[in-house]
């Protein structure tokens, strides 16, 4: 009497779009812009290209809240044969790897395409060309929601007679510009703060923002890494063994497929774990796989995860970005050494800015960033806010109200986001320790500055 059915991923997110941040026309406009901007910045910066990003928002029908959003970048472009799926298939992308990037789910732009399709019936317009392509191509794509497949409404290509490479994405959605304007402006400003090597131009219905790059120095792009033994599980082992054609020995399997495992460490571990290093991986039983995964997680002798897969901003760029956008009286910055949780490497960078254009407030203003994405919502559910509030700032000579702004940037190959809308970060103990340690390092520098200013004031008063 019950009827049973399945849903495609596209249909699931069509029915539950608020879970991805598309809950109302104001929030949806914000989310559409950020999904496109984050894709544009990944397409440039992950490949060592200085980003030139342009964002255009036009209200095409004020009575119906119809808004056109267009984002242009000078990135690596989307290969022609990949355009339909990249824009028209949920859970499809190029960021399913062990490498720091803004995108992680293979869902973002599809949510925006879906939202446009739902609210205006219009396809996404894409124009792109890769660096080595001889042509420029244009597509109009919609999503076949029932089947989670792209529908190409139109496409054309023509010879490229210049060196252009990059992507243009244009969407027409129901969006509430006046309600969303403040947050969008804040998002653009904070993006400029965390990417001081990017040119970012934003043209909205009643506002124009232009951030010229403060430096041509760009962080070293992250490189794809291998999984770390600390993060292994039995399902992962099964899949990896099924995917290897060769019947490797346990030792060679560990060396080849895991981060930072050499011949000596593999053999030391296997002897400790009670395994024969020569055993062929295809002969492992389920019980042995379970035991192997468990022992790999438990072993404390592994090298810490490499950080080649990370790309922190670094203290100098963090300082430049904050100076450009906030012009404070004082800045303290800290970029911590890499740490890790369950085999996922991460770096915490923090800054404290004081005075200048920062308005006084009753508790520290907090700017949160994850993999260079500004997080503006759900602050109350974010681990970083919890830590900032748990610090007794009077120890550092801060009396509220104070012109105190705290910047926290977490880089990782796996940011523990609480939801697919990427707004709040979960409480991971290793992360909490690092955030607090970094903040206190900055706070001590602030205290030295406040002490110095107090002394100068005393001298001036004599």
Ligand X SMILES: Nc1ncnc2c1ncn2[C@@H]1O[C@H](COP(=O)(O)OP(=O)(O)OP(=O)(O)O)[C@@H](O)[C@H]1O
Site of interaction with ligand X (CB under 6 A): 2, 35, 39-40, 43, 73, 75-78, 86, 93-95, 103-110, 167
The interface partner of residue 211, options being ligand X, its own copies, Mg ion, none and the CB cut-off 5 to 8 Å by kind, is none
Question: Distance between CA atoms of 107 and 372, rounded to whole angstroms?
Answer: 18
Instruction: Give the DSSP per-residue string, 182-212.
Output: HHHHHHHHHHHHH-TT-EEEEEETTEEEEE-
Q: Which residues in 49-108 contact Mg ion (CB under 5 A)?
A: 103, 108
Token readout for 56 is: 């255009």
- What does 281 interact with, of Mg ion, ligand X, its own copies, none (CB < 5 to 8 A by kind)? none
Shortest Cβ 92–its own copies spacing (Å): 4
Query: Using CB distances below 5 to 8 A depending on partner kind, what does residue 1 bind out of ligand X, its own copies, Mg ion, none?
Result: its own copies
Question: To the nearest whole angstrom, how small is the minimum distance from the Cβ of residue 381 to its own copies?
Answer: 4
- Provide the greatest CA pair distance for the chain: 90
- Among all chains, which residue has been given the structure tokens 């910047």? 407
**Cβ-contact 66, 120 below 8 angstroms:** yes
Applying CB under 8 A, does 389 fall inside the site for its own copies?
A: no
Contact status: 16 vs its own copies (CB under 8 A)? yes
Nearer to Mg ion, 106 or 328 (CB): 106
| Residues in CB range of 422: below 8 A, 6 or more apart | 21, 370, 373, 375, 415
Using CB under 5 A as the binding criterion, the count of chain residues that bind Mg ion stands at 3
Nearer to ligand X (CB atom), residue 31 or residue 335: 31
Q: Does 202 bind its own copies (CB under 8 A)?
A: no
Stretch that binds its own copies, among 17-25, 245-253, 356-364, 390-398 (CB under 8 A): 17-25
Site string for its own copies, 63-102 (x = CB under 8 A): -x-----------x--x--x--xx--x-xxxx-xx-----
Structure tokens at 97: 């790897």
* Nearest to its own copies of 118, 214 (CB atom): 118
Look at residue 233 and give the partner it binds from its own copies, Mg ion, ligand X, none, a contact being a CB closer than 5 to 8 Å depending on partner kind.
its own copies
Sign of CA dihedral 387, 389, 390, 396: positive
52-61 and 199-204 beta bridge pairing: parallel
User: Of 50 and 289, which CB lies nearer to its own copies in the complex structure?
Assistant: 289
Pick from ligand X, Mg ion, its own copies, none: which does 75 bind, CB < 5 to 8 A by kind?
A: ligand X
Rg over CA atoms, the chain: 25
**How many Å apart are CA 62 and CA 101, to the nearest integer?**
36
Question: If phi over 0 gives left and psi between -120 and 50 gives alpha, with beta otherwise, what is residue 148?
Answer: left
Residues 226, 75: Cα–Cα separation, whole Å: 25
Query: Which of 410, 436, 388 has its CA nearest to residue 313?
Result: 410
Which is closer to its own copies, CB of 52 or CB of 290? Answer: 290
Nearest residue relative to Mg ion (C-beta): 108
Distance CA 38, CA 422 (A): 12
CA dihedral (84, 85, 86, 88) positive or negative: positive
* Binding site residues, its own copies, CB under 8 A: 1-9, 12, 14-16, 18-19, 23, 47, 64, 76, 79, 82, 85-86, 89, 91-94, 96-97, 105-106, 117-121, 145-146, 233-235, 238-239, 286, 289-290, 294, 378, 380-381, 416-420, 424, 426
């Amino acid at each position: 009497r019950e009827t049973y059915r399945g849903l495609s991923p596209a249909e699931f997110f069509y029915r539950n779009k608020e879970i991805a941040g598309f809950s109302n026309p104001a929030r949806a406009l914000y989310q559409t812009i950020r999904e496109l901007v984050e894709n544009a910045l990944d397409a440039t910066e992950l490949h060592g290209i200085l980003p030139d990003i342009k964002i255009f928002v036009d209200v095409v029908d004020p009575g119906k809240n119809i808004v056109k959003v267009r984002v242009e970048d000078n990135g690596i472009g989307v290969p022609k044969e990949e355009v339909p799926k990249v824009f028209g298939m949920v859970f499809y992308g190029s960021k399913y790897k062990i490498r720091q990037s803004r995108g992680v789910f293979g869902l973002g732009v599809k949510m925006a395409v879906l939202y446009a399709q739902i609210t205006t019936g219009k396809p996404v317009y894409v124009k792109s060309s890769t660096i080595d392509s001889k042509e420029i191509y244009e597509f109009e794509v919609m999503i076949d929601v029932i089947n989670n497949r792209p529908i190409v409404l139109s496409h054309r290509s023509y010879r490229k007679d210049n060196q252009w490479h990059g992507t243009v994405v244009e969407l027409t959605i129901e969006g509430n510009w006046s309600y969303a304007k403040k947050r969008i402006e804040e998002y653009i400003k904070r993006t400029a703060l965390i990417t001081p090597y990017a040119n970012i131009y934003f043209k909205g219905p009643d506002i124009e923002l232009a951030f010229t790059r403060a430096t041509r120095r760009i962080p070293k792009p992250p490189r794809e890494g291998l999984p770390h033994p600390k993060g292994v599980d039995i399902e992962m082992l099964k899949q990896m063994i099924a995917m290897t054609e060769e019947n490797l020995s346990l030792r060679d399997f560990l060396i080849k497929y895991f981060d930072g495992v050499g011949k000596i460490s593999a053999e030391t571990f296997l002897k400790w774990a009670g395994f024969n290093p020569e055993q062929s991986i295809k002969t492992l039983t389920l019980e042995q796989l379970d035991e192997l995964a468990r022992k790999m997680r438990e072993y404390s002798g592994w090298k810490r995860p490499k950080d080649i897969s990370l790309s922190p901003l670094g203290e100098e760029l963090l300082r430049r970005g904050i100076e450009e956008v906030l012009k404070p009286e004082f800045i303290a910055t800290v970029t911590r050494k890499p740490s890790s949780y369950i085999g996922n490497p991460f770096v915490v960078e923090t800054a404290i800015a004081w005075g200048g254009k920062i308005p006084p407030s009753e508790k520290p203003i907090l700017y949160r960033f994850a993999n260079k994405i500004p997080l503006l919502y759900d602050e109350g559910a974010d681990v970083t806010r919890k830590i900032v509030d748990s610090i007794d700032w009077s120890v550092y000579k801060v009396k509220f109200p104070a012109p105190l702004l705290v910047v926290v940037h977490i880089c990782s190959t796996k940011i523990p986001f609480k939801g697919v809308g990427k707004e709040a970060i979960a409480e991971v103990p290793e992360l909490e320790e690092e955030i607090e340690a970094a903040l206190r390092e900055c706070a001590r520098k602030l205290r030295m500055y406040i002490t110095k200013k107090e002394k100068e004031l005393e001298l001036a008063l004599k």
